[in-house]
Structure formats: structure tokens, C-alpha cells
Amino acid sequence: LQLATSAGVAATTVGCRRGHDASAGAPGDASRRLHERLLTLDTHLDTPANLASPGWDIMRRHDVRVDLSQVDYPRMVSGGLDGGFWAIYTPQGPRTPEGEARARDEALQTAVRIREMVASHPRRFEIALRADDAPAIAARGKRVVFLSIENGYPLGHDLTLLRTFYELGVRMVGPVHFLDNDLGDSSTDPKGKEWQGLSPLGKRFVAEANRLGMVLDASHASDDVLDQLIDLSKTPVILSHSGCKAVFDHPRNVDDDRLRRLAASGGVIQLNSLGDYLIASTKDPLRKQAVEQLMARYGSWHELGPDARARFVRERRDIDGAYPAPRATLDDFMRHVFHALQVVGPDHVGIGADWDGGGGVVGLEDVGEIPRITERLLAAGYSEDDLAKIWSGNVLRILRAVEAAKPTAASADAAR
Amino acid sequence: LQLATSAGVAATTVGCRRGHDASAGAPGDASRRLHERLLTLDTHLDTPANLASPGWDIMRRHDVRVDLSQVDYPRMVSGGLDGGFWAIYTPQGPRTPEGEARARDEALQTAVRIREMVASHPRRFEIALRADDAPAIAARGKRVVFLSIENGYPLGHDLTLLRTFYELGVRMVGPVHFLDNDLGDSSTDPKGKEWQGLSPLGKRFVAEANRLGMVLDASHASDDVLDQLIDLSKTPVILSHSGCKAVFDHPRNVDDDRLRRLAASGGVIQLNSLGDYLIASTKDPLRKQAVEQLMARYGSWHELGPDARARFVRERRDIDGAYPAPRATLDDFMRHVFHALQVVGPDHVGIGADWDGGGGVVGLEDVGEIPRITERLLAAGYSEDDLAKIWSGNVLRILRAVEAAKPTAASADAAR
């Protein structure tokens, strides 16, 4: 999730559709129909942050132009998205016992909110705990809710909390977010590397995730952490929402050599649609200042009611008018997708568009428009079989590997 | 909760209705109608333990004679019970870091289960966080779900977890269960007193409960702990499910002097209907052995499906036939209620019948029969005003005192 941070909203340009618009118009019927047949999962949905927003209802159709939200039940149906990994995101805070306890509580609240969402709509959503649950839930006509953790900070120094979250349903976990923490280095900490990868605690965290049966997620982590996760983890690693450094050089993107190593170990990169990681963004200091002042005036986005959000979005659009900035397009996003496909092939690529966490580009504004991704892939000659892997087969393969590698009760006893 | 323990089920006699049956017959219409007017709360519902049982559904009417369960939505409606405190019960386990972490996770799961129950039936149940929520929820035609903690063991040595549970909705907490723990002494530990009341950690626990705004519950605690809670707590103390020692001398019951001290400090005793605490139970060693063998054969009660439960109950009834034992009656329960009323008056007495935790006597077998309590109170001359206090006014008065005593954000800052 990037949206709640000042850098995030500052980077998001609202409604300024520049560049070519080859992506305009409704996605083709063929790709929509294909979405009905395929199991489609996005590996990084930041939508849980909206569940606590006053007046926001997962069952109601919202308009991204009005409240910036990108995922709800009606739009998942429109876009043919069967589900995905719903992220328990916690911003990196003070690395103190009090900060860790606060983060633990916040993450638990988010987990409870996701579970309450599912409990509230038992005919629409269902928690998925194993890879095989996903197609079964989709076959029952429901949306698939895997849980994941973005930022291991809420674990503090108590790795038994990883089991707590596992028991609440979490099946994927990434150690860090924007800043280095006690588990390891972030790709974007302005202070640089603290651990040269994983910390000693972070290495135990990897072993514990393996033991429990959680997929390890290297998005947001430094290159060193990615390398060490590939080396240390007994199971393939995922980049749940990342991009290609060869297409645009940004710390949140991964270079081709690392992508090949990731693929060789069975892992997958899921492509992110967050504009700042796709193309060079504007550096206009006046624009930056205007956005920061706007955000300071409104405070925490997720505490704003619908009216305040609409006002915010209007003021945000005024800033885009006063200080225009280029905005990434579906073409830009697809350039990352196609590059990854060229480098590692359709067995190692998927989609994690960072919906509700900063994702979304011109031509791919919300989850209702994801058939456009499929349309582009079909036009480029990828087959239905390829698309089945890209839209869920690859991540479920990793999850099955994690399930298979999980020590049984008997072998765990023997190891004692 | 006592049911899940071997002592508990051993003590529960199924279907052996001995003694006089003055309580037989349907409760009078007058008391049922009165329940429609009154706000009725029970302060100790162990029903959350059933929420995880396979095939058990809070919305379905169950039969206590078939599956021993005593509370579900249809029976709450029949009995005119508006709600109460739904207990997060955790059995006392090893006082080790691993044991504490396990207990923490178990308690979190129970809290989530309660919240999922409410989320699943939003027109039938609603979480109550403040005293004023209770009448408002009842006025909306829903059942009131306060959360409480029975046994502070899941907190381990980390009192920040008390805030975690507060944020999940918990508004009442008792430090101990059957055995002494790191917070203080139990009334029933066969090893005797360990701390002579609260431990140093237990005293900080009291301060933290006061600070957060939780009612302190002395049921299961030793007399020393009760005394110290009355002295240390800034707010009145509750006995959420206890009895009168003057009526039957049992460690789970409280003597008259202590009841007077409790009342003088604004507290309340809520009377328990668990037979073993109401009258002398049988000591027949053959009966005890037969029950223990039965229980060992079936294992954890809450993991049994409906068929296994029904078989268990039948076998349990055979034991009652082979080794008859006296069973407490509604008269015995009312003797404790009337005694408490005589000693401390209707401002300091309420009902916490320990449903689904070992409660239930002949003539008061499940929550559907609670108008019989009201009927007896009316017959003894207690007024509707008295009944309003007994059925909810007293506990809500304590909760309001707790809310009023909670430091505001401003005063908390000033204290820093």
C-alpha cells in the first residue's frame, strides 16, 4: 500500500489523461468472456484499508473518480476478478516495544475486518486457506479471500505472532515496507541499507514462514533481501506487486538477472500498476507542495467520509490542472508485463496491480477494467493456457509448493 | 466455563430430575411479558465455545437434552434474554512463553469467532461497546453482544494485550480461572495460594483495566483477590457468575461480609446456576470413574459433531441411571439469589447463570427458561423496578462508572 502515505497520494494523478489513448473504450467481449472461464486472482489487494472507512461498503459500486477506491464486489464482478490476496498492511512506525504493540493491534484489527467482511456476506465471499480452495470457492460463485501481510513490523520481535496470523488465515507475508525494519532492508529507505539484506531475526522469520506454510513475498524488500529469500526459503518466492527495472529504473522494480534467478527457483513476479514505478514522474516542487498541503489539511484518508473524500478528489484534480504531470497508461503497465514475460515466460508472471494501494493507470483505472490486460495479452499471442497461469495458476503453484513443504505434525515431532 | 474440564462434565448430571419439582411447568405469561419490557443481560455466557463446534449454528434451536447446549438465538428469544457478556474463556495452561502464546492465539480466535457470529447475523446481533449501546441495540430488536474475558492467562506477561482485546470489544475481564496464574490466585487451586491475592503483575493488570475502561470480574478469584480488587480498582467490581457461601460453602461462593464490602463499593454479585456450587454433590468414586472414562473416550467436547454429542449424552444418561446423584434445582439456585438480595439488596444482585459453562439446574435447564427466575422474584414481592436492576441495571451501572472513570485523552496526556 502506498496510497495512505504522503509520497503515495502525491504521486497519484487524478483524472489527467495524457499520452495516447489506445486503451480507451470498453474491454472486448472476448476477454470478458475469458475471465468468466479463468480463475483470476490479484496477489495484492489493499482494499482492506477501505473496510474501516466511514460509509464505505464493499457491496456497493463506487466510482474511482469520486472516492479513488478501485475494488468492490460489483466491480470485481464487472472485471471478472475472482479474488486474490487481501493485504493486512501496516505502515512502518517506531521500532520500539510500544510501536510494535500498536502495529500488532492494528494488523489484528485489519485481519478481523477482512474476516468480518467475509462473515457479513457469506454468499459473496469466502476465506481461502489452501490453493485448492480458490477454484472451489470460485465454482461456488463466490469471491476468493486469501489473506496476506504487507510489512512484518506488527510481528515486532515475537515470531510466535506469525502463527497467530497464520491461524487467522494469512498465507503470504512480506517482511518490510517503505523503510528498513528489524526483519530486514527495504528497497526504498532513504537512509540506505541497515542489514545488507535480512537481519538475524529476519532469517528466523523466513524459517518460521516455511514451517507454518506461508508464501514469502519480496515486494518492497531490497535486492539483497530478495536474493537471500531465494537462497534461504525452502519454497519459491513471490514478488506480489513489483515491476521490471529494465523497463523503468526504480528501486521497487527488479532487474532481469534477479528475475531469472527468481524464476529458476520456481518463483513469480506479479506486475504492479502503480504509475510512479512504471514511468518517470514529475519532480515539480510546486506541485509536490500543493499536494502535501492538501493532504495535511484532510488528514488520514481512511478516516474520511464519502463527502470529504469527494471534496478531496475535486481539490486534487484542481492541482492536476494547475500543475500538470504525465500519468502512466495501460501501455506503460503492459510494457512491464510483456518484458517480464519475455525474460521469464508465462510460468513466472502474474498480476498484482496494487489496487487501493496506489495502482491504476490511464486505461486501467479500477478492477472493473482488468479484462483490458487480458485483451492485450491475447492480442500479443498469449494463449488461454498462458492466461490461466498468469491469472492464478502460477501463484497457486507456489502456494501448493508451500503446502507440500510444510512439515507434517509427525515430522515436526521427529525434529524435536 | 467449567464444561470442558473433566471436573465440569463429571459434575453435570444429565436428565436425572430428582428432588421436588415445584419448578415444573411453563414459566408464567406475566414473567415472559415482563421480559419483553425489561432489558435482560446475563453476565457470563460461555456460548462462544460452541461457535467452533462442527455443525452447531447459533441461529438454530438446539435441545439441551440432545447436545447439552443452552444458548442459541431462538432460545434467547423464547427466554426473553436480550444478551449479555459473551466470554472469551481460555483454560489455564502451562505458565511458559509457549503456553502463553498459545493461549493468546486461542483467545484471539474466540474473539474473532464472536465477531464473525455478529457479522454473520447483522439483523440479529450487535456488538455493544458502551453501557448505552445495550438498550439501543435491544430497541433495534437485536441481541446484545458484550465481550468479556474469563482468565487473563492469554495476556501472559504482556499487558499491552489487554488493549488488543479492548480494541476487539472486550469490556470485562477476570484475572484467573480454576488455577493460580501469574496475575493472582484462584479460589480453587488444589495447591493453595501462591500470591496471597494478586501478583505484582496482577496489580498492574488492575490499573491497566481501569485505564482502558474494563469492568474487573472477581469470579473464580480467591477471596484475597476479591478484597484486593475492591481496594485497588478505581471502579466497582463484579462477580460475573458466583454464589453465596452462607447458602453453600464452596470456594466459588462468597461470604456475606465480602458481599457487603462489594456492595458498599458499588459492586454486584451475579448469581451462578452451576449445580456443584449450589448444593453438595455426590462423592461416589464409581460414578466419577465412569464419567472420566466416558470423557476420555470422546475427547474434546467442542470438537464433537452433533451425532457424537448425542451419543455422548445418551451414554452420560446411562451413567446417571447406574450411579444416581442428586441434582440442584431452581429452588436451590433461587436460594442463592434470595440470600444475596437479603444481604445486599436489589441494587447489587444480578444473573450470570454460566450457560454453556456448566450452569443449569432442574427447572432451569437452558436460557429459554429464565422467565422462571423472574416469576420467582415477582412471587417473592420484588418489583418491576427491582427486576430491571437485577436483569441489567446493576451491571450497566458498573459499566457506566468504568466509562466515567476512564482517563480522557487529555488527562492521559497530562499524566505523562
Q: Which pLDDT score, from 0 to 100, does residue A303 have?
A: 82
Q: Which pLDDT score, from 0 to 100, does residue B282 have?
A: 77
Q: What is the pTM of this model?
A: 0.91
Task: Return the H-helix or E-strand segment holding B351.
Answer: strand B349-351
Burial code of A57-89, b = ≥16 C-beta within 10 A, e = fewer? ebeeebebeebbbbbbbebbebbbbbbbbbbbb
* C-beta atoms of A168 and B115 within 8 A: no
Looking at the partner chain, which of B104, B158, B167 has a beta carbon nearest the beta carbon of A109?
A: B167
Three-state SS sequence of B126-155: EECCCCCHHHHHHHCCCEEEEEEEECCHHH
User: What is the mean predicted confidence (pLDDT) over B312-334?
Assistant: 93
Question: Over 50: is that where the pLDDT of A6 sits?
Answer: no
How confident is the model over A241-273, as pLDDT tens digits? 999 999 999 999 999 999 999 999 999 999 999
Question: Over 60: is that where the pLDDT of B10 sits?
Answer: no
* Cα–Cα distance, A76 to A72 (Å, whole number): 6
Q: Which pLDDT score, from 0 to 100, does residue B25 have?
A: 53
Q: Which pLDDT score, from 0 to 100, does residue A19 have?
A: 37
Our separate counts of H helices and E strands in chain A read: 19, 10
Q: Which pLDDT score, from 0 to 100, does residue B384 have?
A: 96
Residue B339's nearest CA partner among B256, B408, B242, B262 is B256
Residue B22's nearest CA partner among B396, B363, B364 is B363
* Cα–Cα distance, A270 to A243 (Å, whole number): 8
Burial label for B308, CB within 10 Å (0-12, 13-18, 19+), is middle
* Residue whose cell numbers read 513469480: A268
In chain A, whose CA is at the least distance from the CA of B112? A112
How confident is the model over A334-356, as pLDDT tens digits? 999 999 999 999 999 999 999 99
Contact B93, B87 (CB under 8 A): no
Distance from CA of B333 to the nearest CA of A (A): 38
Q: Which pLDDT score, from 0 to 100, does residue A8 have?
A: 37
Question: Over 70: is that where the pLDDT of A5 sits?
Answer: no
How confident is the model over A293-303, as pLDDT tens digits? 999 999 888 78
Distance from CA of A112 to the nearest CA of B (A): 6
Q: Which residue has the higher pLDDT, A77 or A55?
A: A77
In chain A, whose CA is at the least distance from the CA of B158? A101
User: What is the mean predicted confidence (pLDDT) over B11-23?
Assistant: 39
Q: Which pLDDT score, from 0 to 100, does residue A12 have?
A: 44
Q: Chain A within 8 Å of B112 (Cβ-Cβ)?
A: yes
Residue B331: CA count within 13 A, CB half-sphere: 9
How confident is the model over B346-405, as pLDDT tens digits? 999 999 999 999 999 999 999 999 999 999 999 999 999 999 999 999 999 999 999 999
Q: Which pLDDT score, from 0 to 100, does residue B16 have?
A: 35
Angle at A384 between CA A378 and CA A388, to 5 degrees: 115
In chain A, whose CA is at the least distance from the CA of B168? A109
Question: Over 90: is that where the pLDDT of A226 sits?
Answer: yes
Q: Which pLDDT score, from 0 to 100, does residue B412 have?
A: 56
Find chain A residues with C-beta within 8 A of B160's C-beta: 97-98, 101, 105
CB atoms within 10 A of CB B132: 13
User: What is the mean predicted confidence (pLDDT) over B275-304?
Assistant: 89
Contact B216, B267 (CB under 8 A): no
User: Cα A91 vs. chain centroid, distance in angstroms?
Assistant: 14
What's the farthest any 2 CA atoms get from each other in chain B? 67
User: What is the mean predicted confidence (pLDDT) over A117-129?
Assistant: 97
Q: What is the dihedral of CA A226, A227, A228, A232, to 10 degrees?
A: 100
The residues that bridge with A186 in the sheet, in sequence order, are A221
Q: What is the dihedral of CA A99, A105, A111, A112, to 10 degrees?
A: -160
Secondary structure of residue B242 in the 3-state scheme: strand
Q: Chain A within 8 Å of B123 (Cβ-Cβ)?
A: no
| DSSP H helices in B299-414 | 306-322, 330-344, 371-379, 384-388, 394-405, 409-414
Q: Chain A within 8 Å of B104 (Cβ-Cβ)?
A: yes
Question: Over 60: is that where the pLDDT of B30 sits?
Answer: yes
The residues that bridge with A270 in the sheet, in sequence order, are A350
In chain A, whose CA is at the least distance from the CA of B117? A119
* Cα–Cα distance, A366 to A362 (Å, whole number): 10
Strand A125-127 with B83-89, pairing: unpaired
Residue-averaged pLDDT of chain A: 92
Looking at the partner chain, which of A97, A119, A163 has a beta carbon nearest the beta carbon of B120?
A: A119
* C-beta atoms of B115 and A115 within 8 A: yes
Q: Chain A within 8 Å of B167 (Cβ-Cβ)?
A: yes
Distance from CA of B115 to the nearest CA of A (A): 7
Weakest mean pLDDT among A207-221, A318-332, A357-371, B128-142: A318-332
Question: Over 80: is that where the pLDDT of A282 sits?
Answer: no
- Tell me which of A108, A123, A161, A416 to substitute to probe the interface with B (most B C-beta atoms closer than 10 Å): A108
Q: Which pLDDT score, from 0 to 100, does residue B408 have?
A: 79
Question: Over 90: is that where the pLDDT of B20 sits?
Answer: no
Q: Chain A within 8 Å of B115 (Cβ-Cβ)?
A: yes
* Cα–Cα distance, B140 to B358 (Å, whole number): 31
User: What is the mean predicted confidence (pLDDT) over A207-220?
Assistant: 98
CB atoms within 10 A of CB B378: 18
Label residue B265 by pLDDT band (50, 70, 90). Answer: very high
* C-beta atoms of B168 and A122 within 8 A: no
What's the farthest any 2 CA atoms get from each other in chain A? 67
* C-beta atoms of A112 and B112 within 8 A: yes
Find chain A residues with C-beta within 8 A of B117's C-beta: 119
Label residue B416 by pLDDT band (50, 70, 90). Answer: very low
